[in-house]
Chains A and B, each alone.
Chain A
Amino acid sequence: MNLSDLFSEFKNLKPDPHYTEKSKRAILASPQPAPRLREKGFMIFLRSLETGVALVLAGFFILLATNSLSGNKLAPVQYAVIDPNGLHAEAQAIDIQIQLANLDYSEVTSTASQSTTPTAPGAASPSFVPVGLGGAATSTATSSASAGDVPPATATTTLSVDQALKALSE
């Protein structure tokens, strides 16, 4: 006999109708166990955890997507309230005030050093040259008239800020 025919013969396998009816009645009459309170609470906790995690992940991916779409991946963050030019100007102004404050000090010390030790290595150094306003510094080193026997000498040097800083560092 053919195997496929034998397989189709298995379709004749049918449960006994009496057994089927009895089994069905017994099953449908049996009570369905109610889920225990502890299990219920745990399920609620699991579901809220699921929802929370899903929301957090969704938010994270939305942020990730919007950042990648903006195109400014490596550019520094630009804020509307910050004006770079204004900041630069302000920084320049602060520098100037410091330089002006140093100006008085430098004038005093340079005068003093010239009057006491004119051959001191630092005397002729540009480090004592006061720095003026703007991109270039104009200094006027005037030997004190109170020295008496030393003829008054006036030297005017024009230095840029970079030159002045370089000289200071040396």
Chain B
Amino acid sequence: MVNGPEPEQEIVFVQRAVKGDSSAFGVLYDHYHPMIYRFVMIKVGRREEAEDITHQVFLSAWQKVKSYKHQGHPFSSWLYQIARNQVIDHYRARKPDVSLEKTDPESFAIAVDHAADISKKMQLEKVRTAIALLKSDYQDVIILRFVEDMTLKETAASLRKSEGAVKVIQHRAIRELKKVLGGEPSISLNSFSISSDESF
């Protein structure tokens, strides 16, 4: 579940930001920046790149916010859209080179507890790499549903898709992810289940 300003409050902040109020945009930045950062980070895998892309996302949002029109979708869906485009542009400029075999624990960008052991880091990076190997739609649904813990409705609103479409994408994404991670004995896939509201 996404915590933060209520939708009514969010609309007020967005309206103020549209009028050029930088403090209102600052509130939106504080609320959405960690989510967008995680979203980008899981997709690109490197801290510096994720920071650059996230910065570009919010800079672009600030520069275009005057043309923003509220169409019933949450403000985050607009930010996710910009983030998706920025990631696509990033990959256009540089071809990704991801492989489960080539993962280097020293280059992990995932900031786990310093006491966490290296094997946990390895597992996290393998899952992240497996997610990055999925189709863009699958990645988005996996991140929003299981990392951000959004409901189906929230995910559908953020991705501007119907709930039915999100269900189908989620089902396929999990199947693909299990296929990619199938050869990883350290990661248990059997206990990974989806809650009752999205069962098939």
**A, B: real partners:** yes
Seen from chain A, the residues whose Cβ lies within 8 Å of a Cβ on chain B are 1-4, 6-16, 19-20, 23-24, 26-28, 30, 32-33, 35
Is B62's beta carbon under 8 Å from chain A?
A: yes
27 inter-chain pairs at a CB distance below 8 angstroms, sorted by A residue, are: A3-B127, A3-B187, A6-B124, A8-B147, A9-B110, A9-B112, A9-B120, A10-B110, A10-B143, A11-B147, A13-B42, A15-B34, A15-B54, A23-B33, A23-B55, A27-B55, A27-B58, A28-B22, A28-B26, A28-B29, A28-B62, A30-B62, A30-B63, A32-B62, A32-B63, A32-B65, A35-B66
Instruction: Please report the total number of B residues contacting A with Cβ < 8 Å.
Output: 46
Alpha-carbon separation in the docked complex, A78 to B59 (Å) = 67
Dominant SS among interface residues on chain A: helix
* B65 adjacent to A13 (CB under 8 Å): no
User: With A6-B127, A12-B111, A27-B58 in contact, is A1–B38 under 8 Å at CB?
Assistant: no
For the complex with contacts A12-B113, A28-B25, A28-B29, 15 further pairs of A-B residues with Cβ separation under 8 Å are A1-B188, A2-B187, A2-B191, A2-B192, A3-B127, A4-B191, A4-B193, A6-B123, A7-B127, A15-B37, A16-B47, A19-B51, A24-B30, A30-B63, A35-B67
Known: A23-B58, A28-B25. A14 touches B111 (CB 8 A): yes
Q: Answer yes or no: B2 CB below 8 A from chain A CBs.
A: no
